Structure 1
Amino acid sequence: MDFYAGLDVSLEATNICVVGGDGKLVREATLDTDPDAIKELPAEWGIHLKRISLEALSFGAWLFTAPAEKGLPMIYIEKRHAKAAMNAMLNKSASTDEKDIAQMMRTGWFRTVHVKSESAQMLRALLVGRKALLGKVLDMENMIRGLLRPFDLKIGEISVGRFEARVRDLLAGKKELEAIVGPLLDARNAMRLQLAKLHRLALAAARSDSAVRRMMTVPGVGALVALTFRATVDDPARFRKSTNVGAHFGLTPRRYQSGQTDRIGRISKCGDELTRAMLYEAAIAILTRIPKNFKLRLWGLRLARKKGLKRAATAVARALAVLLHKIWIDGTTFRFGAGGKRGRVAAAL
C-alpha cells in the first residue's frame, strides 16, 4: 500500500500525519523542525512514503532540500491553493492541518511550488536587505525633516550627498536642537554607508551574471530590476511559454466566467510583490523617461491615451516580463527596431 505524509510546520515543532491509500490514518507524530528529523522518519517507521508535503513558507526551502536530496519524495505545495482546499473541509483547526495536507497528497489535489536554488535565495536576501535598509534611511531623513519643520527650518529638495551639510547649516547656533538631531544624522550616515555596501554587492552580482547583463539591454531595465527578475524566476525553463510569466507575477486580469456571465476584473496581484513592483517601475520609466522610441514604448503610449497611464504601465510591465524571459531563454539582447519575436512581444499581448 502507498502511504502519504503531510507536515504542519512551525518554528519550533512540526506535526506529521501519515495516511494510507485508503485514506485511513496510519500514524501521527510531533518532531523538531529540523531536516534531519524528517529525513530519518521513513526508515524509523518502516514504511514507504509516496509523497511527503509541506506548505510553502519562509524557511520551507531549508526544510525541503535535505530530505529531497536524500531521495525522499518531497512536495512543496502552493499555500493559497492549500488554504482553499482546507477551507472546504467540514472541520478546520490548527491540529488538523497535517491531516488535510496528507489527504491532499493522497487525492493528488495540490499545486506544486518551485523551490529556489541557494544562489537565487542568496540574491533575494541581498535585494530584500537592500530595499529594507533603503526604506529605513528614507524614514530617518523624513523624520529629520519633520523635526526641523516646527522651528521653521526647511531642508528643501537636495541631493543625498549634501543632505547632512544642509542640516548642519540649519542647526548652526541652535545647540539644544543640534544635540537632538546630531545623533540622528550620525545614524543616518551609518545606514547610508551600509546601504552603499549592499548596493555595490548588487552591482557586482549584475556584472557577473550574463543573463542579467542581457536583460539590462532593454531600455528602462536597470541592474536592480534585472536582478530581482533573475532571483524570482530562478530557472527560466520552468515556464513552458514566456507569456505565462506575466500571470505568474499577478499582472494579468482576474476573470470570472460561468454560463452567460463573463467578467474581467483587476489584475490578480498574485505572485511576488517585489518583482511586480520592479517591473511596474521599469514600465513607468519606459513610458515617461526613455526618449528613444521602440515598439514596446509606442504600444504602451497608444494604450495610455486610451486607458490611462496606470493601466498602460501595468500592460507594459506584463509585456516586459515576457520580453525578459525570452531574452533569458534565447540568449539574445534587445535591439532597437528589431523585428521578429522582439518586435511582436507587445502586439501579442
Structure 2
Amino acid sequence: MTFWVGLDLGGRETKLCVVGAQGEVIHERYCPSDAEEIHAALSAFPIEQIQLVSVEAGGGTHIVRRLRAFDYPVAIFEARTASKFLKIRRDKTDDGDARGLADLGRLGQSTVSRVRLKGLERQQLRSRLMVRHKLVRHRVAVDNVIRDLLTLYGGTWKRTEATGGTRIWGQEQIELIKAAQNVDRTAELCPLIELSEALQSYLKETDKWLLKRAEGNPLCRRFMEIPGVGPICALSFYTAIEDPFQFPKTSSVGSFFGLAPTVSQSGTRETRKGISKMGSRLTRMHLFVAANTFFSRYKEDAALRSWALGLAGRIGKKKAKIALARTLAMVMLAMWKDGSSFDLNHRLGSSPPAPADSSS
C-alpha cells in the first residue's frame, strides 16, 4: 500500500491524517507538535510506503527538519495557494485541513507551489531581516504617536541619531509645553520616548550586524556593487533565493517575487493586470526600495538609468520603478549564476525586459 500524510501543525497540537491511494482515511489523530511524537504516531506506516508528508508553510520548520532527518518525504506547500485547495471543503477545521493537506500531496502537488526549506544560516539571516522590518514599523508608529501628542500641545518632534539625543529633545519639548501652557505630559510622553529610543538603539545594532554579514559574504558584496542595492536588499535576495539554479530562465525570478504582471485570457481576449504580489513580500519591498533609490539618487549616465527614465516617461514613475525592481532581481540572479561582477552598461545595454503594466 501507499500512503499520503497531512499535518496541520499548531503551536501545541498537530492534527495528523493518513489517507490511502483512493483518498480513504486510514488513520487520524491529534498529537503534540513535536517531531518525535509525530514520528511515533506514524510508526505503524513504513516510511518507504509513505509517498509524501504535506505541511503548509508558515511555521514548524524545526519539525520539518527533524522529520526529514527521520527520512520522511516532507513537502512544504505555499500557504497562499494551498489555502485555495483547502477551501474546497465546506468547513475550515483542523480535521479538514489535515485531510486536505494529505489530498493535496496525493492529487494537487503539481499545481500548488512548494516552499524550499532554508538552511539554518539563511534562516537566521531571514529571521533577523523580518524582525528588523517589524520593529521599523513599530518605531515609526511610536514616533507618530509622540509627534501627534507634542503637536497637540504646541511642541515639535525631531528624531536624532546621536545616542540619547531623542530623549533630550523630548524632555526639552515637555518642559516647553509645561512652561507655555502649564500642562505636564511627562507621564504620558516619557515612556513613549524611551521606547522610541530603545527601538532606535536596537535597530542600529541590528543594522551593524547585518552590514557585517553582508560584507563578509562575497556574493552579497558583489550585489552591493549595484546602485541602490544595500546590505539589507542584498541579504534579503540572498536568503530568499538560496539556489539560483532553480530558475532555468533568469527572467522568471520576477514572477517568483510577484513583480511580474498577471495575465487574464479568455478566447481571443487578453488583459494584463497588476503584478501578482506572490512570493516574499519582504524581498519584493526591498527590491522596490532599491529600485526607488537607484531611480531617484543615481545620477551617472548609464544604460539602465536611461532605460528607466525613458520607461517612466511612457508609463509613469511608479510602474517604471516596479519594472526596474524586477530588472535588478534579474541582474542579481544572473550575477549569482555566472559569478560575474556588476557592469551596468555591458549587462543591460542590449534589451532590458518589458515594462510591467501594473501597480504595486
Q: Same fold (TM over 0.5)?
A: yes
Structure 2 Cα separation of the partners of residues 278 and 228 of structure 1: 7
SS at structure 2 position matched to 1:104: helix
Amino acid at match of 1:122: Q
Q: TM-score, normalised by structure 1?
A: 0.90
Structure 1 Cα separation of the partners of residues 127 and 256 of structure 2: 21
Equivalent residue, structure 2, for 1:212: 220
Cα deviation for residue 159 of structure 1 reads 4.2
Deviations 1:309-343 (A, max 9, x none): 00000110111111111112222211243x2x443
Equivalent residue, structure 2, for 1:232: 240
Equivalent residue, structure 2, for 1:275: 283
Cα deviation for residue 302 of structure 1 reads 0.5
Equivalent residue, structure 2, for 1:346: 352
Equivalent residue, structure 2, for 1:14: 14
Counterpart among 121, 130, 133 of residue 132 in structure 2: 130
Structure 2 Cα separation of the partners of residues 180 and 25 of structure 1: 58
Cα deviation for residue 46 of structure 1 reads 4.9
Structure 2 Cα separation of the partners of residues 87 and 179 of structure 1: 49
Equivalent residue, structure 2, for 1:313: 321
Report the CA distance shift for 1:140/1:69 in structure 2 as closer, same or farther (over 3 A).
Answer: same
Amino acid at match of 1:224: I
Cα deviation for residue 109 of structure 1 reads 3.8
Equivalent residue, structure 2, for 1:304: 312
Equivalent residue, structure 1, for 2:55: 54
Matches within 5 A, 1:105-254: 105-110=105-110, 111=112, 112-155=114-157, 159-161=160-162, 162-172=165-175, 174=178, 176-178=184-186, 180-254=188-262
SS at structure 2 position matched to 1:255: strand
Structure 1 Cα separation of the partners of residues 125 and 351 of structure 2: 28
Sequence identity of aligned pairs in percent? 30
Cα deviation for residue 84 of structure 1 reads 2.3
Cα deviation for residue 190 of structure 1 reads 2.4
Are the counterparts in 1 of residues 167 and 194 from structure 2 also a CA contact under 8 Å? Answer: no
SS at structure 1 position matched to 2:155: coil
Counterpart among 233, 257, 260 of residue 265 in structure 2: 257
Report the CA distance shift for 1:180/1:22 in structure 2 as closer, same or farther (over 3 A).
Answer: closer
Structure 2 Cα separation of the partners of residues 188 and 23 of structure 1: 54
Report the CA distance shift for 1:147/1:64 in structure 2 as closer, same or farther (over 3 A).
Answer: same
Structure 2: gaps (5+ residues): 356-360
Structure 2 Cα separation of the partners of residues 55 and 147 of structure 1: 43
Deviations 1:136-175 (A, max 9, x none): 222232222222212222346x643354443333334637
Q: TM-score, normalised by structure 2?
A: 0.88
Amino acid at match of 1:50: Q
Are the counterparts in 2 of residues 296 and 345 from structure 1 also a CA contact under 8 Å? Answer: no
Q: Would you say how many aligned residue pairs link Structure 1 and Structure 2?
A: 344
Structure 2 Cα separation of the partners of residues 344 and 34 of structure 1: 53
Amino acid at match of 1:37: E
Structure 2 Cα separation of the partners of residues 147 and 96 of structure 1: 49
Report the CA distance shift for 1:98/1:140 in structure 2 as closer, same or farther (over 3 A).
Answer: closer
Equivalent residue, structure 1, for 2:293: 285
Report the CA distance shift for 1:134/1:262 in structure 2 as closer, same or farther (over 3 A).
Answer: same
Moved more, 305-314 or 177-186: 177-186
SS at structure 2 position matched to 1:243: helix
**Residue 101 (str. 1) matches residue 108 (str. 2):** no
Moved more, 298-307 or 39-48: 39-48
Are the counterparts in 2 of residues 322 and 345 from structure 1 also a CA contact under 8 Å? Answer: no
Deviations 1:86-124 (A, max 9, x none): 3345x4441222222222222354432211111111001
SS at structure 2 position matched to 1:43: coil
Equivalent residue, structure 1, for 2:358: none
SS at structure 2 position matched to 1:40: helix
Are the counterparts in 1 of residues 304 and 348 from structure 2 also a CA contact under 8 Å? Answer: no
Deviations 1:37-67 (A, max 9, x none): 223344344572121111112x232221111
Structure 1 Cα separation of the partners of residues 139 and 101 of structure 2: 42
**Residue 329 (str. 1) matches residue 337 (str. 2):** yes
Report the CA distance shift for 1:163/1:28 in structure 2 as closer, same or farther (over 3 A).
Answer: closer
Report the CA distance shift for 1:185/1:97 in structure 2 as closer, same or farther (over 3 A).
Answer: closer
Cα RMSD over matched residues?
2.2
Cα deviation for residue 189 of structure 1 reads 2.3
Structure 1: gaps (5+ residues): none
Structure 2 Cα separation of the partners of residues 78 and 134 of structure 1: 26
Structure 2 Cα separation of the partners of residues 3 and 155 of structure 1: 62
Deviations 1:204-258 (A, max 9, x none): 1111111111000000111111111112112222222221111011101111112
